[in-house]
Every structure is written in C-alpha cells, then in structure tokens.
Amino acid sequence: MKNKIIISAPATVSNVGPGFDIMGFPLDVISDIIELSRSKKKSSGIVIKKITGDGGKLPYDPMLNIASVAIQSILDKYKINVGLELKIHKKIGIGSGLGSSGASAVAAVFAANKLLDLWLSKKELLLHALAGEILSSGSFHADNVAPCLYGGFVIARGSSPIEVLQIEYPKKMYCSLVYPDIEIKTSEARKILPKKIPLGKGVEQAANASFLIAGLITKNYKIISNSIKDVFAEPKRAKLIPCYDLVREAAFKNGALNCNISGSGPTMFAFSDSPQKAEVITQAMSLAVFDFGIKNKSYTSKINDKGPEEIEDIKNYRKVSR
C-alpha cells in the first residue's frame, strides 16, 4: 500500500475550431502536478498543504479548490473515511485556455484512484473530475477534462450519460501554441456568447465539425485546414485577445493549416504537418505577440496519447515552456 503518489496531467486544447464544448486534445509539453499522501495523523478529510505556481490565486479551503473538490467527490460517492494531504503544483497558466482547472481535477482523481486502490474506470473518474471542473467554469462540459484523462483526440457528448470517443488523427500533425500574458476567465468568456444561434450558423458549424472529424480520421490535411472554423464563439472571444489578428496572420504566412483560439483563450494554436514547420510557426506566433507589446509563452507539441501519468520526481520533470 502506497502512502504517497505524484501524478502529472497534461494541458489541453479544447473546442478546436467548430467543436465548441465537445472536442479537445492534450499536449505533451506542459502539465499540472498533484502530490497526494495519506495523512500521518488520525484524521479524515482533505488538507491542502501547499500550492505552487498559482501566484497566490488558488484557495487552500478544500471546499473551494478544484482538485480537492474532485477528490472529495470520490470520497463521498464510496463513503471513504480517510485523511489525505494534497500538494498542487501549477505549471499550466490559470485562465490560459489550456485546461488548467481540468488538468488539476484529472490529476487529483487519478491520484486518489491509485493511492486508495479503487480501480475505478476512466469513465467513472471523469464524472468526479467534472465535479471539480464545474466549480471553475460553472458549466458541465468535458472538452478539457475528457482529453486530459483519456489522451488522444477526443470528442465528448455532455448529455446524461456522458459519452467520450477517441478518434484517429494524423500522427505527423503538430501543434504550435502561443500564450499571451493576459488572463481570460472561462466563466466570463462564456457570458459574452450568444444565447441563440441562427439556423444557418448552426448548420455551418455542424458541417465544419463533421468535416473536421472526417479529415482527422482520413488524415486529409486539406479538409482539416478548411474545417477548423468556429462561426459563433470565436468571433466573440477574438475581441478579448488584442493580438488575435496578428497571430493568425503570422501562423498562415508560415504554413499553418489553420489557427484558432484554444478554449476560452487567450492561448491560440495552429496545426501543421511537420515538426520543423511547427517550430517555425511557433516562433512566428510568439514574435507577433511580442511585436504587439505583450509578453508570452510558446510551445510546440504533438498530441499526447497518454493522458495523466505517475512520476517519481517533480524536480526532474521535464515539461516546461520556452
């Protein structure tokens, strides 16, 4: 029986153009890390002992923290009376559009499942991770949590019961990302979205999403390129990112298949068909943000097929940004 476990869970790109609230994939270059230990004291419940990398933004109250709420959901469901100590290491920017809250929730439930020898399935863990994610975004959607937990390119249907499907995609496809140093809260980014969608826009969005999935499965880069278009969320959210147009222009000039906002932003991503081209695109996107006068972090990544993983040593964990 283990007394401590360390789990990393990857950042994710969600929406992916027309896949609003239903599509996403994890990255292999940046992750949040959770340390979960059995309490040495004869006590029950969760105590948050340490939080790093959050700039003092995250609460130590276990009823208000995403990671502890997700774990508590498991303890309540299975009536487990145990004392746990939690340390949270934030590597993914809060409000970055890279699934920071989802990664912490996934790492937390994955850690609890292993530490307590519960042998819960990913489908079962997903519901508990979502308990934490809902606390952050105020809505029930799995386009960050599901890909983070399952790995690969994922589509998720948030109806009851929730359904998750991993689909094939071109393994040579790479993702370039730039994270401007501005914060956009998911809950605020959702408030600016239209409450009703005109029929024509709905049909166009559905067609784009359908063709994107078909392009991924058939490894047709032209279809992928032509289908990564969001006709109702991105036009609204683009106004929250002052360097949006410059980043897209830089990406396309350097051969990107397409360029969109990740999640609620401000991170933007672009697909390409080789690692060499992806590196060039990443540098061009980052330079565009710098030229606008905004600091940023940038990443080049493949799609992560693993999802969360157990690690031995935080200090030697390699996943860092430029």
Q: Active-site residues: which are they?
A: 133, 186
Give the count of beta carbons closer than 10 Å to the beta carbon of residue 187: 12
* DSSP-assigned letters across all residues of 88-144: EE--SPTTSSS-HHHHHHHHHHHHHHHHTT----HHHHHHHHHHHHHHHHSS---TT
Q: Considering just the CA atoms, what is the radius of gyration of the chain in Å?
A: 19
Instruction: Return d(Cα 25, Cα 93) in angstroms, integer.
Output: 17
* 19 and 57 Cβ atoms separated by less than 8 Å: no
Torsion of CA 190, 69, 107, 166, to 10 degrees: -50
* 296 and 322 Cβ atoms separated by less than 8 Å: no
Q: Given the DSSP bridges, would you call strands 83-89 and 45-52 parallel, antiparallel or unpaired?
A: parallel
Strands (E), 210-295: 258-261, 268-272
Task: Give the dihedral sign, CA 215/216/217/219.
Answer: positive
